[in-house]
Amino acid sequence: MLSWLRRETTADLPRDPKEDEPVAGQSDAIRGVSQNKPLLTVRGVERAFDVGGSKLRVLKGIDLELYPNQLIMLRGRSGSGKTTLMNLMGGLDTPTAGEIVFQDRPFHKWGDDKRTEVRRKDIGFIFQAYALMPLLSAYENVELSLRMAKVPRGEWKSRVTSCLELVGLGKRMHHRPFELSGGEQQRVAIAKAIAHRPSLLLADEPTAELDSQMAAQVMQVFKEIVATQNVTICMTTHDPTILEVADHVYEMVDGVFVS
C-alpha cells in the first residue's frame, strides 16, 4: 500500500492552454471544480443485490474522497466489489444505503435522467474492452463522443486533434481500430473518454488486455492527463506493477476497504 500523496495544489503543473475553456458553456465554478474540496465523496455506501430470493451484500460500508487532479487506484480480488463501486461513482447505479456526492450533486437521491445528464457532461468512462466503433477511424470515434456530449461543432476539430495527439496518436488519426494495436486502441478510447473535458474519468481494468509495455504507455498517458487536463482518474486494477504511479491506492476485500 502506498502512502497518501495528495497534491496540495496543481497551480504549478504544466497546463493545456485550452483547459480553462468552458465545456458547452460551463465554467469551472458551475461544474463545482475546486482544488480544495472533494470532487466526489462516497460516505457509508452499501450495495446489496437480490439474488435468488436472498440479499447479496456486495459493498458493506465504503468511504472515499476523490480530489481534483488525482490518479487513484482500486485494487482487490475478482468479486471484491470494485466494479460495483465504480458504477455507483459514475452514476450508473444507486446505493442501497449511504451517500454519493459528485460536485455537490447527490447521486444517491437523484433519478437516472438527472444522473445521465451529469454523466454525459462531466464523467468519462474507459473499459477493459475498448468500446470503439469498428468502422469509424480513431478521429471519427473521438468526434462521436463530442457529438454525444453536445459540444458545439466548431470545437470538434481542434479538440479531436489535441486529444489524439495527447495520447500519442497524432499520426494514426485516420486508422480504424483493426489497423491499430491493442495499446493504441485503448489510447483512442482514452482520447474519446476525455474529449468532452470530464472532471472525472473512471477506468475499469484499462490495462487488463495489454502486455506490460503497452500497459506502461497507457499509464504514462494517464499521468499526463492528470497533470494537464484538470481531471481525476479513478481506475481498478489487478496489476501490482502499476500501483506505484497512483496518488493513492484503496484495497478492497469483500466489500470493504482495508488499509
HSE-up of residue 95 (Cα within 13 Å, Cβ side): 26
Q: Which of residues 82-111 bind ligand ATP (CB under 6 A)?
A: 82-84
State in angstroms the smallest separation of the CB of 252 from ligand ATP.
Answer: 7
CA 193 to chain centre: 8
Residue from 8, 11, 25, 51 binding ligand ATP (CB under 6 A): 51
Least distance (Å) between residue 249 CB and ligand ATP = 14
Among 27, 34, 49, 129, binds ligand ATP (CB under 6 A): 49
Contact 138, 173 (CB under 8 A): yes
Least spacing, CB of residue 58 vs ligand ATP, in Å: 4
Choice from 22, 44, 79, 106 touching ligand ATP (CB under 6 A): 79
Task: Tell the smallest beta-carbon distance from residue 234 to ligand ATP (Å).
Answer: 13
Euclidean distance between CA atoms 80 and 256, whole angstroms: 8
Q: Does 58 bind ligand ATP (CB under 6 A)?
A: yes
Choices 50-58, 140-148, 194-202, 211-219 (CB under 6 A): range interacting with ligand ATP: 50-58
- Interface region with ligand ATP, contact rule CB under 6 A, candidates 38-46, 72-80, 96-104, 218-226: 72-80
- Chain centroid, CA 63 distance in Å: 18
Residue 54 interacts with ligand ATP (CB under 6 A)? no
In angstroms, the CA 47 to CA 61 distance is: 9
Q: Does position 81 bind ligand ATP by CB under 6 A?
A: yes
| Nearer CB in complex with ligand ATP: 9/78 | 78
For residues 6 and 238, which CB has a smaller minimum distance to ligand ATP in the complex? 238
**Cβ contacts of residue 129 below 8 Å, gap of 6+?**
209
CB 94, min distance to ligand ATP, A: 12
Residue 129 binds ligand ATP (CB under 6 A): no
What is the closest distance, in whole angstroms, from the C-beta atom of residue 161 to ligand ATP in the complex? 34
**Count of residues near ligand ATP by CB under 6 A:** 12
Near ligand ATP by CB under 6 A: residue from 76, 91, 95, 198 = 76
List, as own/partner pairs, every contact residues 92-98 make where C-beta atoms lie below 8 angstroms and the sequence separation is at least 24, other chains included.
Answer: 92/119, 93/47, 95/45, 95/46, 95/47, 95/59, 96/46, 96/47, 96/48, 97/44, 97/45, 97/46, 98/42, 98/43, 98/44, 98/45, 98/46, 98/61, 98/62
Partners of residue 71 on adjacent β-strands: 233
Question: Which residues make up the interface to ligand ATP (CB under 6 A)?
Answer: 49, 51, 56, 58, 76, 78-84
